[in-house]
Every structure is written in structure tokens, then in C-alpha cells.
Amino acid sequence: MPVTTTRPSDRPAAQDFATVFARLKPHMGALDVFLRNQLAAFEPEIREMADYCIDTSGKRIRPALVFLSGWSGDGTASTDLVRVAAVVELVHLATLVHDDIMDEANMRRSRQTASRQYGPEAAVLLGDALFAHALHLASQFPTTEVCLEVSNSTRKVCAGEIVQTLRRGTTNITRQDYFRVIDLKTAELFRLSCFLGSKLAGFPLAFVEDSSRFGRHLGIAYQIYDDLADFFGQEKSIGKTLGTDLVSGKVTLPLLALLDRLPAEERAGLVDEILGRRQPDLPGRLRQMGEHGIFAAVGEEVESELLKAEAALVPHGGLPPVPLLRQLCDTLRYRVGNLRP
């Protein structure tokens, strides 16, 4: 399928998340108050640890998807949307806490990870407690639907992470494998956020379905961007250690693309680094990625998913959430443009 990276001229200028999120200030404020109030539900010993995780420095992109998909136009956040935003954020935080144990990452959002701060054992259980609390909040809706959807998505997210973990340090991974994993581990929660936001706001079923499709493709695009940023980001601005994917033998799209393009004799060296037989040479690999146009190629994959996301919204141009959701696509384009090849 031919992919264009040209931005249609009727779009507002690309902007950073901060700009789009400015309108969500009251919503995020309400979410923050709500999350802080949840701390009382944890046993005293865990409160500090949970508080450490529920920090305000995260992007909170999943809650934003809830609020934007359920956008009514009057700028206020309903109790239902705030609660469900808390649910998806807590599920996400729980997976981050567990994820950082696997990655042995030291930094996340410019702070020590929970695993580094409290030890991996406590981090396993802290993640569990956050999961459990998310499901507890999900049970507070009048029907079982939210709980059903959230637990189903959570299982998929875990499945994606497991498959990724089992594949770590192996190189016989196809593009299909990669896309399946990110669909499960990232896109599923993006999809869920849009589904629950639009559903709880009472939008027609057709929009609920299409905004879910939007969320899924945005999630895939976002994960590809995130994997690209692991090589081409700036440690300071993305707030975590760079190059962790290569170091931990995780074959993401930039590495897949490089493996694909390297001549056989050079590929062997990279395979050895992924298999952990040889010290990874990050600067050397970045140079090779530059030589083989990896940044542009992976950037086009992001764009391809963003176009699919936007296409899902086309039939619903008149609904209040649509312009805002499209802006999210532009902010991701802007983010990709800000990485340095």
C-alpha cells in the first residue's frame, strides 16, 4: 500500500501534546484529585509506593483518549469519565511497574523506577495492587461492562508483554510478530480508552466502534514512535534511558528494519549483540541506521497507522471529539519530527 507522509493542508499546524492537552486541564485536574483520593484505599505501607507511581509527570495519554473520545464540547469532565480515566491509567501504571522489572530500567519519566526504588519483589506486588485497584474502580459502574472490558484488555496487554519477553534475545522475528505484540501490549489499551470514553459519553454505537478503531491505530503508531525514540530520542526529553531495547535484546521495528537492510556479513555482528554474545555498540548501530535510512522508513510506518486512525473518523466529522482526536495524530507527527535521525 503506498503511503504518503504529506500533511493535508486543511489541518492545524502540528503541535506538541502540551498544546492539545491544555484544553484537558480541568479534566486532568479532576483525574489527579480522584487518583490522590484513591490512596486512602491502600494499606499504609503501600500508600507511599502507590503515590510514587501516581505521579503527575506522565503524559497521561490514555486518560486523554478517554476524555477526548467522550468530549461533549462543554469542557467539563463527567464523574464517569474521570473514574474510567483513572481505571485505564492505573492499569497502564501497573504494567509500567511490571515492565520496568523486566527491562531492569533505572529511569522512567526522569525518576527512578519503582523497581529500582523499592526493589523488584515489592514492585511485583505493587503492580498487582494497582491492577486490583483499577478493577475495583471498574466494578463501581452500574453494570459489569466496564469490568468485563477492562479485565479482557488487561489480559491482552499481559499476553503481549509475555510474548515479547519470551522472544527477547531471539532474532527470528517477523514484522507480523512485531505488530501482533504491539497491538496487544499498547494498542489494546488505547482502543479500550476510546471505546469506554465514547461509550460512557453516550455517543452512537457507530462512533464508539470507529473511535475504538481510531484508538487502536493511534496506539500502534504511538508504540512504533516509542520504539523509534528508544534509538533517536533525547534521554532528557523522553525521561528514560536510551538504547535499552538493543541492550535487552528486544527486537523492535528499527532493529528489524536494520537487520533487513544490513549485508549478511554485517548482520551477524548485530545478531550477536541481540543474542547477548557481544557488547552492544549503540553509536555504531545508530550510524548504520543513518546510512540505511531507517529513521525515515520507520517514520513512514508511523504515518501509515496515523492515516488509518484518521480514516476511521471520516464518517463522524460532525461530532465534537473528532477534531480533537485528529489533533492527537498531528501531535504525534510533530513528535516524530522532533526526534533526531
The residue ranges that bind its own copies (CB under 8 A) are 41-43, 45-46, 49, 94-95, 98, 101-102, 119, 121-122, 124-129, 131-133, 135-136, 138-144, 147-148, 150-152, 154-156, 158-159, 161-163, 165-166, 168, 184
Nearer CB in complex with its own copies: 107/158: 158
Nearer CB in complex with its own copies: 21/131: 131
Minimal distance in Å, beta carbon 155 to its own copies? 4
Q: Please report, to the nearest 10 degrees, the dihedral formed by the alpha carbons of residues 320, 321, 326, 327 taken in order.
A: 90
Q: What grid cell was written down for 53?
A: 507511581
Host H or E run for residue 190: helix 188-200
Q: Residue 84, exposed/middle/buried by CB under 10 A (0-12, 13-18, 19+)?
A: buried
Cα distances (angstroms) measured from residue 183 to each of 34, 162, 203? 29, 13, 25
Minimal distance in Å, beta carbon 101 to its own copies? 6
Q: What grid cell was written down for 109?
A: 519519566
Nearer CB in complex with its own copies: 38/331: 38
Minimal distance in Å, beta carbon 127 to its own copies? 7
Minimal distance in Å, beta carbon 154 to its own copies? 4
CB 139 within 8 A of CB 147: yes
Q: Which of 88, 74, 109 is nearest to 35 (CA)?
A: 88
Minimal distance in Å, beta carbon 115 to its own copies? 10
Q: What grid cell was written down for 275?
A: 543474542
Nearer CB in complex with its own copies: 127/254: 127
Nearer CB in complex with its own copies: 159/297: 159
